[in-house]
Chain A
Amino acid sequence: MSHSVELHDIGMTFGTTRAVGDVSFTVEGGEFFSILGPSGCGKTTILRMIAGFLNPTEGRIVIGGRDMAGLGPDQRPTAMIFQSLALFPLMPVWENIAFGLEARGASKAERRKRADELLTLIALEGYGDRMPGALSGGQRQRVAIARALAVEPQVLLLDEPLSALDLKLRQHMRAELRALQKRTGVTFIYITHDQSEALAMSDRIAVMSAGVLQQVGAPRELYDNPATPFVASFVGETNAFSGKIAAIEAGIATIETKLGVMRGRAGPDVAQGHAARLYVRPEALTIDKGGDNTLNATVERIDFEGAFALAHGRLDDGSELVASISSTDLSSAPAIGSRASFAFDQRHAVVLADG
């Protein structure tokens, strides 16, 4: 089992800017863990603190039960994959991969052998003598991973390594990364601002916003039970309706909004009489089928996305509503410009206190 990574009340202040504050979570050994958030949320700062490039101004980082305070990046059981990959352009691929072994004093024959093994692992046999510049984006990606794995790290830190690739390749590399992680059993900590990437690959995800940890959980948990308004709106598409809590009963909150009374599962921290918002996913909305909660809207447009289409409705208070329609049901979709009733089951909506 690979090492776990524990963050205890980590904080980082640059000058007068507080980039990260009071972040605590534990990444289990062998887990694929993502840190998700918009750019500038502090996720790269956290990764650089785990790697040892930055020293946290507060808190402790423990890897494999060992406090990392005072240890540099070269002394930690971690290896980092940089956003730019940072391959050494003047060294052939095999020297790139074996660079960490070279630094550890391995003989040339040993280094070459290990590099060839890793080239096999990443399905690039025979590419050892090429220069990194002669490889495609996806191949360079894999070389960067092999170079990091060559030093046999307990924890692999990945800083948005797929962001430079095109969509198709990115999806392919997601699957490959996931498979590689399963095969090697190394703990992966993966930084991304792409929520679908995080949802697809991770065992668990930490969502960050403005230097603050919002929620840690499995992908389904974040999606179905967001703990904060930020998580509800950042992870996946959602419709939000603000209002005031009228009653909470058996885990179901009744909220009074300008569009009428709605019901949904009560999230943490909701209290009667307080301002709150009800969140409902586009796929939870049905059109003209009836349900617990019904909203009437004018269908403004229907955007075809392939597997599904998004119906945009204009509500009576002027706000917008988005519902997804499976492509197979498109023929029965309402006409553009017509009135339709959008409905959702209260179990598919969540009510969170307005933060």
Chain B
Amino acid sequence: MGELYKRFGGGLATTFLALVLLWIAGMVLAPNIMMVDYALRPNLPPSQIGGPNDVYSLDNVLYLANEAVHRSIFFKTIWASAFVAFATFVVCYPLAFWLAQHATPSQTAIALLALTIPFWINEVLRTLAWYILLAFRGPLNALLLSIGVIDEPMRYYGNGGVLAGMIYAYILFMLFPIYNAIESLEKAQIEAARDLGASTWRIHWRVVMPHAKAGIATGCVFTFMLAAGSYVAPALLGAPGSRWFTEIIYNWFFEGGDWNRGAAYALVLLVLCLAVVLVTLKLARVNLTDVAK
């Protein structure tokens, strides 16, 4: 703070601080306070707002606790998001390791470009591409049928489709933190481990992964939060059996017309996500500041 004033002088530094505070107040605090406010108040017709029935209570949250279907979708969203994070990690780790330790600079450039280009397109359109790929009469089934892997077309929409769509959507959020972490690992450490007789598995488990722990935790936290808050992939690639909690929140707002209950659901999701993230970081012994880097 003192540094800021010393470098830019009183006027400019005050302007910077004011802008940052305005941003935090307007974009972070206000919406969240409004959400909490909505969540704790009952859904009333306009005439009764501010009346005797308009009191704070936990009714909206308790409604979720007592509603068996919503509750199970909520918990399923949490563990399914964790699974998405894990599956994305499984896909990204070998790629990140190869890019960071084995690829030539030109191979790295080409691979990173190929991975980044799809992200120039809107997420909805990218998910729609998967919608087409995974369709019952779509290219994937046609390909698998033609090479004889399957005898009749399969239905992918549902859990499988949502998983594929999400892994694809969040691959970079997992890849880059792990890539950065592994890149800083000295090659001699891997060679030393191999020279001492360690198997490939042990080299990764004991040397590479511990070194890349902060990057892995960062990638998993990003992916978990994005997956838990995802709407497009479950909406497009899901089936009635693979409903995501965000879809229920959406329904309260736009179908049920009950913003208060929707806000309460969103609040519960937010709190639980935060808890999962903090516990994960604690278990991995990684600080939030490491993640921010």
Q: Which residues of A contact B (CB under 8 A)?
A: 51-53, 72-74, 78-80, 82-84, 86, 88, 90-91, 99-100, 102-104, 147-148, 150-151
Contact = CB atoms under 8 A, between A and B. Distances in A.
Given A86-B186, A88-B207, A99 B195 contact: no
B158 to A, nearest CB: 41
B196 A103 contact: yes
A242 to B, nearest CB: 43
A227 B202 CA distance: 48
Interface in B107-161: none
Given A86-B186, A86-B188, A80 B198 contact: no
A78 B202 CA distance: 19
A280 to B, nearest CB: 42
Contact of A103 (B186, B189, B199): B199
B195 A74 contact: yes
B186 A84 contact: yes
A103 B198 CA distance: 5
Contact of A73 (B191, B199, B202, B210): B191
Contacts, number: 61
A97 to B, nearest CB: 10
B192 interface: yes
Contacts of A102: 198, 202, 206
Contacts of A99: 193, 196, 198, 206
B191 A53 contact: yes
A227 to B, nearest CB: 34
Given A99-B206, A103-B202, A151 B189 contact: no
Chain B interface residue bracket vs A: 10 to 19
A84 B206 CA distance: 19
A104 B202 CA distance: 11
Nearest to B203: A103
A100 B188 contact: no
B210 to A, nearest CB: 5
Nearest to A75: B197
Interface in B190-221: 191-199, 202, 206-207, 210-211
Contact of B196 (A52, A72, A100): A100
A72 B193 CA distance: 12
Contacts of B195: 51-53, 73-74, 78-80
A281 to B, nearest CB: 38
B189 A73 contact: no
Contacts of A90: 210-211
Given A73-B191, A80-B192, A86-B192, A151 B197 contact: yes
A80 B197 CA distance: 11
B189 A86 contact: yes
Interface SS, B side = helix
A343 to B, nearest CB: 51
Interface string B260-278: 0000000000000000000
Contacts of B202: 102-103
B197 A104 contact: yes
Nearest to A73: B195
A108 to B, nearest CB: 14
18 contacts: A51-B195, A52-B195, A53-B195, A74-B195, A74-B196, A74-B197, A79-B196, A82-B192, A83-B188, A86-B191, A88-B206, A90-B210, A90-B211, A91-B206, A99-B196, A99-B198, A100-B196, A103-B202
A50 B158 CA distance: 55
A86 B185 CA distance: 10
Identify the 10 closest CB pairs spanning chains A and B, nearest first. A100-B196, A86-B188, A86-B192, A103-B198, A103-B197, A82-B188, A73-B195, A74-B197, A90-B210, A86-B189
Centre residue among B186, B192, B194, B199 by max chain A CB count within 10 A:
B192
Contacts of B210: 90
Contacts of A84: 186, 188
A242 B160 CA distance: 81
A51 B197 CA distance: 12
B186 A100 contact: no
Centre residue among A53, A84, A90, A103 by max chain B CB count within 10 A:
A103
A77 B193 CA distance: 15
B199 to A, nearest CB: 7
Contact of A88 (B189, B197, B199): B189
A94 to B, nearest CB: 14
Nearest to A147: B196
Contacts of A78: 195
Nearest to A79: B195
A150 B202 CA distance: 18
B194 A74 contact: yes
Contacts of B211: 90
Contacts of A83: 188
Contacts of A88: 189, 192-193, 206-207
Nearest to A72: B194
A79 B196 CA distance: 7
Nearest to B198: A103
A77 to B, nearest CB: 11
B189 A100 contact: no
Nearest to A82: B188
Contacts of B207: 88
A83 B186 CA distance: 12
